[in-house]
């Protein structure tokens, strides 16, 4: 895919300074720019690279004035960083703009789908699945019976969506995600054996949810496991049965959330956080990486540690943790002196 400087300037509403017909076919960091690549300059500390970069086109802020001769064509915009991000988004849209049904695939006759649908090879789509407009399902995806998928959804290669799941419009599901697997529900009998509790609920993803690669979201025992609008999950996260996550909450990799826990809106949860089941976490809560949450959490709390403490209390306590040997030594000295 090639784009000229004039085409890129048109997309970004920018102004070309240099050769408007020069073309690029890949992206690069400014310090690694080569012929045929597009880069950008937003951080002033990288300014010196613009005089040596071999990138064919560089996006810069409108107020940038070179102090030396340049070998790169400039596109001046109001905000170089935002414009480059916009271009990345545009590039992804073009790259993913596939349509049609590849072979071999299995697509049930009872499935319905909208316009601009793409189904990659070796995918399976079960009975009575409803698929909206502009949905892109890449190769080796499994879609179970009675799944509903909204408009403008992207499902990347190798994802598995079990029966009855609901995927809202604008969701992005990355490779190896599993949505709707059975929750971890077992009950011991009188012999101490574990008997499986049937998991009859489903998973509901509201609009604009993004699920990172290798993440698993379990179906509810009864009712639904729900991720509300704008939730963002990193790679390799486990969401257990009947969990509910509020709007625009973001969770980093390797976090595990046990069953029936409710998490509020606009929370930020770091990597490798463990959250027990059947608790409630309020809105706008921030949890530092590797924390363990074993209690209800109020709105706006900032937590760290395992078991987690208030962030400020943890930092104050940590000063003493580091000096614990010295403190114990001083206590021993006091006791010895008092004993004389």
**String of DSSP letters for 84-134:** HHHHHHHHHHHHT---EE-SS-EE-TT-EE-TT-EE-TT-EE-TT-EE-TT
Q: Which residue has the tokens 């930020």?
A: 268
Given this structure, which CATH class describes domain 100-314?
Answer: mainly beta
Domain ranges, ordered by start, for the chain: 3-95, 100-314
Cα–Cα dist 299/36, whole Å: 50
pLDDT band for position 334 (cuts 50, 70, 90): confident
Burial class (CB in 10 A: 0-12, 13-18, 19+), 180: buried
Rounded to 10°, the helix 80-95/5-12 angle is: 110
Which residue, 252, 147, 271, is CA-closest to 205?
147
Q: Which residue has the tokens 């001083």?
A: 330
Q: What percent of the chain has pLDDT over 70?
A: 99
Is the pLDDT score of 340 beyond 60?
no
Q: What is the largest CA-CA distance in the chain?
A: 92
Using an 8 Å Cβ cutoff, are 57 and 69 in contact? no
Cα–Cα dist 247/9, whole Å: 35
DSSP conformation class of 43: S
Q: Identify the CATH number of the domain defined by range 3-95.
A: 3.40.1390.10
Taking CA atoms, 308 is separated from 6, 269, 287, in Å, by 54, 13, 9
CA 97 to chain centre: 21
What is the per-residue pLDDT for 316? 83
| Beta-sheet pairing, 274-275 with 210-211 | unpaired
Is the pLDDT score of 328 beyond 90?
no
Is the pLDDT score of 179 beyond 90?
yes
Q: What value, to the nearest 5°, has the Cα angle with vertex 222 and ends 217 and 224?
A: 45
What is the per-residue pLDDT for 5? 96
Q: Between these two residues, 97 and 167, which has the higher pLDDT value?
A: 167
Mean pLDDT value across residues 63-75 = 95
Residue 275: strand, helix, or coil: strand
Is the pLDDT score of 189 beyond 60?
yes
Residue 148: strand, helix, or coil: strand
pLDDT band for position 335 (cuts 50, 70, 90): confident
Return the active site residues. 241
pLDDT tens digits for range 11-57:
999 999 999 999 999 999 999 999 999 999 999 999 999 999 999 99
Residue 228: strand, helix, or coil: coil
Q: Between these two residues, 247 and 316, which has the higher pLDDT value?
A: 247
pLDDT tens digits for range 248-257:
999 999 999 9
The gap between the terminal CA atoms of the chain, to the nearest Å, is 86
What is the per-residue pLDDT for 339? 62
> Which DSSP helix (H) or strand (E) runs through 57?
strand 57-61
Cα–Cα dist 169/34, whole Å: 38
Using an 8 Å Cβ cutoff, are 233 and 212 in contact? yes
């Amino acid at each position: 895919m090639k784009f000229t400087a004039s085409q890129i300037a048109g997309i970004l509403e920018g102004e070309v300074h240099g050769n408007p017909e020069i073309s690029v076919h890949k992206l690069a960091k400014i310090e690694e720019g080569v012929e045929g690549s597009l880069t950008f300059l937003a951080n002033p500390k990288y300014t010196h690279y613009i005089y040596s970069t071999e990138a064919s086109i560089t996006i810069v802020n409108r107020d940038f004035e070179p102090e030396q001769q340049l070998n790169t064509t400039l596109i001046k915009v109001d905000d170089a960083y935002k414009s480059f991000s916009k271009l990345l988004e545009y590039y992804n849209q073009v790259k993913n703009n596939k349509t049609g049904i590849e072979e071999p695939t299995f697509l049930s006759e009872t499935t319905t789908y909208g316009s601009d649908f793409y189904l990659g090879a070796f995918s399976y789509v079960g009975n009575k699945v409803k698929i909206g407009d502009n949905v892109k399902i890449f190769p080796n995806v499994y879609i179970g019976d009675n799944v509903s998928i909204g408009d403008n959804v992207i499902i990347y290669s190798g994802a598995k969506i079990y029966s009855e799941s609901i995927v809202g419009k604008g969701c992005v599901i990355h490779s190896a995600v599993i949505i709707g697997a059975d929750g971890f529900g077992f009950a011991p009998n009188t012999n101490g054996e574990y008997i499986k509790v049937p998991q009859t609920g489903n998973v509901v993803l509201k609009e604009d949810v993004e699920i990172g690669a290798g993440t698993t979201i379990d179906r509810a025992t009864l009712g639904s496991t729900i991720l509300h609008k704008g939730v963002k999950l990193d790679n390799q996260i486990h969401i257990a049965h009947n969990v509910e996550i509020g709007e625009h909450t973001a969770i980093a990799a390797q976090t595990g959330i046990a069953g029936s826990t409710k998490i509020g809106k606009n929370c930020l949860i770091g990597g490798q956080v463990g959250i027990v089941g059947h608790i409630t976490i309020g809105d706008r809560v921030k949890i530092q990486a590797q924390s363990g949450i074993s209690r209800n959490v109020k709105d706006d709390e900032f937590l760290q540690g395992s078991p987690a403490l208030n962030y400020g209390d943890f930092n104050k306590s940590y000063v003493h943790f580091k000096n614990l040997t010295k403190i114990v030594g001083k206590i021993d000295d006091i006791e010895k002196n008092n004993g004389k």
